[in-house]
Structure 1
Amino acid sequence: MSRLNGRRAEAEAQGLKVNVAILGCGGIAHAMATTLNKMAADPQYSNLIAPYAVAARNGERAAAFADKYGFPVSYGSYDELLADPQVDLVYIATPHSLHAEQGIACLRAGKNILVEKSFTANTAQARDLLAVADETGLLCTEAIWTRYMPSRAIIDDIVNSGEIGEVQSISANLCYPVTHKTRMTDPTLAGGALLDVGVYPLNFIDMVMGGHGAVPIDRVETSMMPYATGVDAQNATTIYYGNGVMASSVSSMLVASDRGGYIWGTDGYVVCRNINNVESIDVYGTDHSVRTHYDVPAQLTGYEYEVAAAANAILDGLGECEEMPHSDTLRIMELMDVLRGKWGLVYPFEQ
């Protein structure tokens, strides 16, 4: 058990903070390091977390990363991170195919984990990881930042208010030209558009539908265009829900898109600009004029919400975050398995 799990009063009394370590030194790790430093300097979070360490398979690379961001500790192996009793929370920032193995190792070593999306490469891995989380009683939560952002509550309030009437259709897309990144095209790393960018429109749709599997899916129609390596280069999916709502999701690693999220109702519709980090929200009437405009609250980077949620859950002795409970993570993983099954996309390590 971590030194701080379920010990909020003790931590506050002694001025202890949740020490965060980053596992991996890739691009997303740099974004998280920037976030942790900004949180440490912000009065809202400065008493909650501390940027503590980074681990990589190369000691020089880890030391350079730590030096760049002012982290006091660096490790030249993941085993060194696991052996450090001062680590409270590990942010796993490696390719999808490694999340389950590394997450299980962290939990077995008594470390709480915040696992970058997609949570794992498939549902079987997700179940294995969550089983160890349940066994250890430690925090295990998926780091899909849109689930934790204030924009989620704004969108929920609009839909629940009835301002656009009865929701009948949802559409979301996220596309970036990112085939120059090896992890995106390599099937051994669970590459492809779906697990990296496609997970966002699927989560957007799921959140609008209420999350928690509130409305069952009746059927799914989907197709994809393969990249030269066999992973999905771009894909399109239509989800038919039991209450009559139809939702469409599109993702690609070949092109740029408007990244829009659209919710269409009987009395109007909602436009969310950039579902990957909602910038603004507009509510339109049936005459296509803007009824209401919502600005999203200013943020440090956007990643601070998931870190704060994880840190607070640790102090409260919780095994999951309410913003992204294990049931929601599993449901999205199961849906992505269904899509890949329909495409016939199997990663080498699944054969």
Structure 2
Amino acid sequence: MNICKVGIIGAGSIAQKMADTLNRMENAIVYGIASRQLEKARSFADKFNVPHAYGSYEELVADSEVDLVYIATPHSLHYEHARLCIEHGKPVLCEKAFTANARQAKSLLKLAKEKKVFITEAIWTRFMPFSKTIRQLLDDGIIGTPSMLTAGLSYAVAHKERLFKPELAGGALLDLGVYPINFALMAFGNDVENITSACVKNEYGVDAQNSITFRFKDGKMAVMQSSMLCAGDRHGVISGDKGYIIVDNINNPQQATVYSKGHEIIKQFHCPPQISGYEYEVEASIKALQEGALETRDMPHEETLRIMQILDELRSEWGVQYPMDIEPGNNAC
């Protein structure tokens, strides 16, 4: 594969950002855009110089020229669209949250393994070089022994339909909360021993804002918040016995400032130049395809499933349920 031909399912704002990114990459192009409305697909194609526009998702996955499909539809549709791709043998880069729940995620990953089709979750921070830099700083002991982390991500976006409706797998957790959670797990690892949390729900029954605390087996703690009701500083702070690191934006970190325990700046680290940050997940997918792998090293299937199970546990505690949480054939409420 010299140039990876990417097909995009969904023509919203995230798809536009990906298209713009692909247009500026050397080893990938936007080959096609699919929408349920052909005119919307054509408008998208005209704007981003995409050679093929499809009025259905089935047409895109049936095109033999498509090397990789990027799914940019609402969370509630990820399972359906990823399954469509896998059944047609198309490798998948699926936006976060991977699916609406862990049952769907497990089913998709099982099918992909059976069909020997690549699939990965497009949680972009997992693939960024600067995320690895932050983890290396911790491993190098620049702040001594880390023990506490705080992180939050909040935007005033409660008016957006995909966020406030349960039938679209809405709520702050799946759209925003996944970033503080991934930030914590990237920094402190996966040995979460206990989770406590609280949320405030909107009139539709999804979480409008939440607070989550992880206690790790080694005694570390991570306190995280996300909200779709207000703007937040987007900071992540990792604290140790010799100082602390403030990461300026956990959603796309551009700078990490290291402080001594006396609150003096020791050093600043900056993100390398990037197109948008989306290019890294595409490059990781291309590399995996070239190697014949079914997953990426940065976001393996096991990690995706682990996080989906955490999200399920949190929603269960809060009483936040989506229509797709009810298994087919089960009429129980």
| TM-score of the aligned structures, taking structure 1 as reference length | 0.92
What secondary structure is seen at the aligned counterpart in 1 of 2:24?
helix
Once the two structures are TM-superposed, the CA of residue 18 in structure 1 deviates from its matched residue by: 1.2
- For residue 96 of structure 1, what is the aligned residue in structure 2? 75
Task: Say if 2:146 is the partner of 1:167.
Answer: yes
Distance apart, 1:128 and its partner CA: 0.6
Do residues 259 (structure 1) and 234 (structure 2) align?
yes
CA distance in 1, matches of 2:260, 2:230: 31
Q: Does 1:300 align with 2:275?
A: yes
The answer as to whether partners of 2:100 and 2:324 remain within 8 angstroms in 1 is: no
Distance in 1 of aligned mates of 2:61 and 2:222: 42
The yes-or-no answer on 1:32 pairing with 2:11 is no
Instruction: Give 1:105's aligned residue.
Output: 84
Q: Which residue of 2 aligns with 1:7?
A: none
CA displacement at 1:51 relative to structure 2: 1.5
Q: Are 1:138 and 2:117 counterparts?
A: yes
Where does residue 331 of structure 2 map in the other structure?
Answer: none
Equivalent positions of 1:339-350 (< 5 A) are 339-350=314-325
From 156, 159, 181, the equivalent of 1:177 is 156
**Identical residues among aligned pairs (%):** 47
1:276 corresponds to which residue? 251
Q: Distance in 2 between the 1:276 and 1:134 partners?
A: 30
Distance across 2 between alignment mates of 1:304 and 1:281: 21
Residue-pair matches, total? 326
Deviation at 1:349, TM superposition (A): 2.6
Give structure 1 stretches of 5+ with no counterpart. 1-10, 40-45
Q: Aligned runs of 1:1-351 on 2, under 5 Å?
A: 11=1, 16-39=2-25, 46=26, 48-210=27-189, 213=190, 216-351=191-326
Letter in 2 for 1:37: N
Contact 2:166–2:322 at 8 Å: present in 1 too? yes
Corresponding position of 1:3: none
| SS in structure 2 of the partner of residue 38 of structure 1 | coil
Equivalent residue letter for 1:118: A
By how many angstroms is 1:225 displaced?
0.2
Structure 1 runs (4+) greater than 4 angstroms displaced: none
Distance 1:158 1:149 in 2: 15
Alignment deviations for residues 68-108 of structure 1 (CA, whole Å, 9 cap, x no partner): 10010010001101210001100000010111111011011
SS of corresponding position for 1:22? strand
| Aligned-residue offset at 1:152 | 1.1
Contact 2:143-2:242 within 8 A present in 1 as well: yes
| Amino acid aligned to 1:283 | V
SS across alignment from 2:39: helix
CA distance in 2, matches of 1:310, 1:217: 28
Alpha-carbon RMSD across the aligned residues, in angstroms, is 0.9
3-state SS of paired residue (1:292): strand
TM-score of the superposition, structure 2-length normalised? Answer: 0.96
Letter in structure 1 aligned against 2:269 = Y
- Measured after TM superposition, the shift of residue 50 of structure 1 is 1.9
Aligned counterparts of 1:72 and 1:348: Cα–Cα separation in 2: 37
Question: How many Å separate the matches in 2 of 1:118 and 1:349?
Answer: 14
> 1:52 and 1:112 mapped to 2: Cα distance?
14
Per the alignment, in what secondary structure is the counterpart of residue 54 of structure 1? strand
8 Å contact kept, 2:85–2:91: yes
Give the AA of the match of 1:23. Answer: I
Shift of 1:197: 0.4
SS where residue 333 of structure 1 aligns? Answer: helix
Deviations 1:131-184 (A, max 9, x none): 111111121000010000011111111100111111111111000011121101
